[in-house]
Each structure stands twice: as structure tokens, then as C-alpha cells.
Amino acid sequence: MAPSVDSILTEKYPAKAHANRVAAYLKTKHHSVDGLIYLEGQKTHMIEDNDEPMPFRQRRYFYYLSGCALPDCSLTYDISAGKSTLFIPPIDPDDVIWSGLPLMKDEALNLFDFDEVRLTSDISSVLQSCKGTIWAIENQITDAAFFSGLDADKKDLSAVKEAIEECRVVKDDYEIALTKKANSISTIAHTAVLKAVKDASNERELEALFLQQCIANGSRHQAYGSIVASGTSAATLHYQKNYEPLKGKLNLLLDAGGEYNCYASDITRTFPINGAFSKESRHIYDVVLRMQKECEGMLRANVLWDDVHAHAHRVAIDGLLEIGILKGDKSEIFEARTSVAFFPHGLGHYLGMDTHDVGGHPNYADKDSMFRYLRVRGKLPAGSIITNEPGIYFCRFIIEPYLKDSKHSKYIDTDVLDRYWDVGGVRIEDNILITAHGSDNLTTAVKEVEEMEKLINA
């Protein structure tokens, strides 16, 4: 029987295993790899013209090799010896008055996966005594003067960043457990919003409820700013107002995910505010759900993400032809890229410590409008986590230029389209773990229409 999420998370974050992977990646790219990997965590920064610190968010490159979310720390990893060292700030007596005692060295050694814990006051001597190369990240080093004085063969300020980004794509069991935990907490919050939407009067009430449920269940931080978009606002992909009234609106698009120990969830659900989809809304929802399910069925190790994204467009075209919004030959519509008017974004992105996680190699200069905003290009490896988030939107700003272009307008029936503007937009998003022979959907928030409407009307 596989260990549970909670049992996996009783262990330490596997920082040394990550450091070993990064060092191994460096060795595949460079003839001689020795010396120290040196990374600095995020510093404490004060709010401008204020004596309060800014909200703290740990650097993800540092966290991947440390599992340490404390500010003002650093680490080294001796590549030849395989030895990892965490550096924590010394006690500041003045700060103890306000904030209490910080983590002690023995406590940090017990908490984090390191061979040694020292004070940050020791860093300078450690770096100066290094006989090999120091591998660091440019613009993430405090002592710029020291690094500028090093010979070129004694420093590398770019390779380790690439190495960490590539290694972060494939998740280990601990990282998968963190993502599952973030998803389970976010599902509680999504469910609470479903149950409350019918009696709510403003988007802000639902955002507040989502945040409350996340914090109460162990997710103090959000992976990204919540999107709580009612009515036609759902046509704005990254809507941020979250304060508009709900009265008279058809649907709510909730794109929100809590973060657990620096690992993100990213979940979107679209549902009827009054407890029952309108005919037009149900038409669009069913098409988007079909897009998502068919794409999920394609997912397995080494599938080309471009192909999955293209299939989503083909399913969208089929659905919009059935409804009557599109007309003509579906192959011609696909080649003309007319479906981009209704599905303008990529099908998904890698998910990890960042919502739009690293390693996807997007090509935002792609002249093909269907693939320009696809955040992952290439084949998906086993162990990667990707979002599957198709959508269909009715954004006048995006669609109206297509209506004025004869290349596209001949495929769009404006009389039918006019009945769908109030739908706004529908997006459904799950977080998918890619496996050797298929995939595992980590998101359990309900999305079948009957289940959603039952919760709303309970």
C-alpha cells in the first residue's frame, strides 16, 4: 500500500537529493564540475517609508535546495564532498524583543535536510576558502564585489539557475505529496464557495470565504491572486477586481488555489450563480468539459504538449460548430486559427513552487497565434505536473477584430454569437501528474454539472 500524503510529509523536505540532482545535471553540461553551489534566500525588505517588513516570499531556487522558508539565510553545497550547509542569521538582541528568539542551529539541523548549520557571519570565509568554482545566480548575491573580483574560471553565475529549472520539472514523491495537500485544501475552499454562491451578493464575499477556508485548513498563502469573476468579467483571463455585485449575472468563474509549504495548486471552476445553468451557458460548459476530458485522456509520458493543445482546439471547433457559433469546414477553421478568438490562451503550464512553473520553454515570439501563449513546448516527462485548463470566452475586445476580418468572419455566425455574450467565459482547470503510462488527476473539486448544482442548491 502506498504511503499517505500526511505520512510522506512527516519526513524532511529532500533538499540534499535535490542538490545531488542539480549537481548531476551540471556534470552533463560542463567538463569539470567542482567547488560550491552557493545560493542566497530572500532577504527581509522593509516597506518604503515604513518600519514594517514587506510580505515575505522565499526564493524558489533557494527553497528547492533547502526546504527552508526562513528569511536572510544562505546555503552551500560542496559538489565533490556531497556536503550541504545551511547558514542562518545570528541572534539580534534588539529583534528578540519584538519577534522572539529565532531558530537555533541545532533546531535548524533537526528541521532541515542539511549536514551542517552555521551562521551567516561565516559565509565570507567559506567562499574565500573555496578552491574550485562557485556556482551562483546572478542578481541573487549580496557580496557582488567579492564575485566581481573572482577570475572567470572561479565563478559561474548562470549554469546553476538553468540546472535547478530543469530539475524542478520532474517531481519526487515529496513534492507530489505537497501538491496533493495544496489541492486538498483548495478543494475544501472551492466547495465552500459553491455552497455559498447562491446567497452571496458580491464577488468579495466569495474571495473572503475562499481565503478563510484555505487559512483555516493549513494554507496560509495563496499560490496567486484569486480570480473571482462574475458574468461577463469571466471573459477576462486574469480578472483582478473581485468586488463586483453578483445580481443579474449568470455564472461565476473561480480560479483560485492555496499554497502549501511553497508548493502551488491552481484550480478553476465555473458554475451558475443561481444554481442552474442557462441553456447557452450549459452548451459552452459541456464543450469545455469535453475539451478537458479528451485532453486528459491523451496525457502520458513523452506526449507532445503541442499536440494536446491542438486537440483542445479541434474539440472546441467541433463544439462551436454544433452550437452554431462557427460554420463551415472544421479543417479550414482550424487552419485559419479562427478558434483562437474563443480560446486565446495555452492549454496549461507546469505547476510546482511557482504557479506558472519553470522549465516549459515557451516561445512567445511564435508567429502561430494558436501556440504563441502555450507555456510548455515539447514532450512531457513522467513526474511532471501540468495544468489542464481549456476555456471558451466571449470577450468583445478579442472577438470583434475577427468579425471585421474576412479570413475569419466567414466562419462565425454573428446571430448565434449574440446569444452567448452574457455567458462571459468558461474555464475548467485541474492539476495533472504525468506518469509512465498515463496520468493522475490531483484535483478532486467537483466539476460535473449535476454535482455542482446539487451543492449550490443544498
Instruction: Quote the cell numbers at residue 3.
Output: 504511503
Alpha-carbon gap, residue 64 to 404, rounded angstroms:
49
- Write out pLDDT tens, residues 218-265: 999 999 999 999 999 999 999 999 999 999 999 999 999 999 999 999
Fill in the DSSP letter of residue 89.
P
| 3-state SS, residue 251 | strand
Alpha-carbon gap, residue 25 to 21, rounded angstroms:
6
Alpha-carbon gap, residue 140 to 73, rounded angstroms:
12
- Write out pLDDT tens, residues 7-45: 999 999 999 999 999 999 999 999 889 999 999 999 999
Asked if pLDDT for residue 149 goes beyond 90, the answer is: no
- Residue 120 and residue 74 in contact, taking contact as beta carbons nearer than 8 Å: yes
pTM of the model: 0.97
Check the CA dihedral 289-295-300-301 and report its sign. Answer: negative
The reported pLDDT for the residue numbered 145 is 78
The reported pLDDT for the residue numbered 80 is 96
- How many Cα atoms sit within 13 Å of 145 on the Cβ side? 1
The reported pLDDT for the residue numbered 143 is 85
Q: Which residues contact 307 (CB under 8 A, 6 or more apart)?
A: 298
Q: What's the mean pLDDT in 413-439?
A: 98
Fill in the DSSP letter of residue 85.
E
**CA torsion, points 169, 173, 174, 177, in degrees to nearest 10?**
100
Alpha-carbon gap, residue 193 to 315, rounded angstroms:
29
Alpha-carbon gap, residue 402 to 325, rounded angstroms:
13
How many other β-carbons are positioned within 10 Å of the β-carbon of residue 143? 12
Whole-angstrom distance between the N-terminal and C-terminal Cα of the chain? Answer: 36
Asked if pLDDT for residue 153 goes beyond 90, the answer is: no
Alpha-carbon gap, residue 160 to 412, rounded angstroms:
49
Q: What's the mean pLDDT in 154-170?
A: 97
Amino acid (one-letter) located at 119? L
- Write out pLDDT tens, residues 89-129: 999 999 999 999 999 999 999 999 999 999 999 999 999 99
pLDDT-based confidence at residue 297 (cuts at 50, 70, 90) = very high
pLDDT-based confidence at residue 148 (cuts at 50, 70, 90) = confident
Helix (H) or strand (E) holding 5: helix 5-8
Asked if pLDDT for residue 435 goes beyond 90, the answer is: yes
- How many Cα atoms sit within 13 Å of 23 on the Cβ side? 24
Q: Which residues contact 370 (CB under 8 A, 6 or more apart)?
A: 309, 310, 313, 337, 339, 340
pLDDT-based confidence at residue 146 (cuts at 50, 70, 90) = confident
CA nearest neighbour of 356 among 282, 230, 266: 266
- Residue 446 and residue 454 in contact, taking contact as beta carbons nearer than 8 Å: no
Q: Given the C-alpha cell 560542496, which residue does it identify?
A: 78
- Residue 26 and residue 18 in contact, taking contact as beta carbons nearer than 8 Å: no
Alpha-carbon gap, residue 194 to 275, rounded angstroms:
9
- How many Cα atoms sit within 13 Å of 178 on the Cβ side? 23
Q: Angle CA(428)–CA(374)–CA(291) in degrees, nearest 5?
A: 35
Asked if pLDDT for residue 147 goes beyond 90, the answer is: no
pLDDT-based confidence at residue 1 (cuts at 50, 70, 90) = confident
Cα 57 to chain center, whole Å?
A: 15
